Amino acid sequence: MTKLPTTEAALRQHEAEEVWAAIGRLVGDQDIESLTPDEFVDLALAATPLFPADLRRRITEYRRYAPGGDVLLLRGLLPDSVAFPATASSPSQQHSGPAQRAALLLAGVMVMFGEPFNYSTLYGGRLVQNMVPVPSMEFTQTSQSSTGMLDWHCEDSFRDDRCDYAGLLCLRGDPSGASMYAQAKDVRLSADAIATLREPRFHVRPDPAHVLSGDVQMRRIAILSGSESAPEIAYDTHHLAPIDDDDLEAASALRELGACLDKVAASHVMERGDLLIFDNKRVVHARTPFDARFDGTDRWLMRVMVCGSALTFRRWGQRVPD
């Protein structure tokens, strides 16, 4: 496994302190948790100019051209002087104190990629979710797992309006919990497998993190799409299968893809202040196991998902669609 091939940028410690203080002045005595989703994003838009111009330029270059790959790593965004509260106990737990400011900092970066959003069925519709271990969820295929491997997946492959980008900000790291990524363009498949994976011979069931009512239809998909030089991918190790159980060709192509993802895997151990942003249409990701203590000191990432299409966002008509 290699280190993450990515575009990388970093704030110096004094820059992180200045950004943190400026965001504090912007927030004032507001309780961010009392804001509506749209009000929160408006505040995030006001926070964006507070970041150094060079950092904003690097983000724009990545969004336009992805010169170093489909993953962007920003480092040093949180000053060392800030003491965060105990790790959140659930993905939907409200933020308090410095965690509120960290959530706004994350959104202030992510709004440069488009419209932050969430689905009403996922973690209470919160725009900034906590990626934290939860007791009894250790071996699930959700962000609440810990002891078990969180296998290869894209965010919400079962939806045709899944996010274009996702950003993960580390408030508290764990040296054994590495984030893993594989870019679709790096995968080397046989011609037969590529042809099969580009046909809609597969279906995917919903992510178990979503709270859905009634019977949910499996979505029919092609796993690969787009150009040969910059292919898009929809993938989930555990929730994707050939539509026809007897389609041995499709099953073989899936196995080949899984093996190839492992071969091109890159990893990064998230440290405090790291913000990892990835193109959810061109990257699959995973996470290695780690031991959760459930004592307030566990690994804590915050996540924001972004819709990069103005047309899709307008079609929803709201920031938290069903």
Annotated binding site for 2-oxoglutarate, which residues? 196, 299, 303
Residue 203 CB burial class (10 angstroms; 0-12, 13-18, ≥19): middle
As a whole number of angstroms, the distance between CA 263 and CA 155 comes to 21
As a whole number of angstroms, the distance between CA 95 and CA 31 comes to 10
* Beta bridge partners of residue 117, listed in sequence order: 305
Q: Give the annotated binding-site residues for Fe cation.
A: 153, 155, 285
Cβ(256)–Cβ(232) below 8 Å: no
Q: Give the annotated binding-site residues.
A: 153, 155, 196, 285, 299, 303
Q: Which residue has the tokens 């709004």?
A: 111
The DSSP secondary-structure symbol of 236 reads B
Amino acid in position 22: A
As a whole number of angstroms, the distance between CA 50 and CA 107 comes to 12
Q: Which residue has the tokens 């000191």?
A: 297
Cβ(31)–Cβ(97) below 8 Å: no
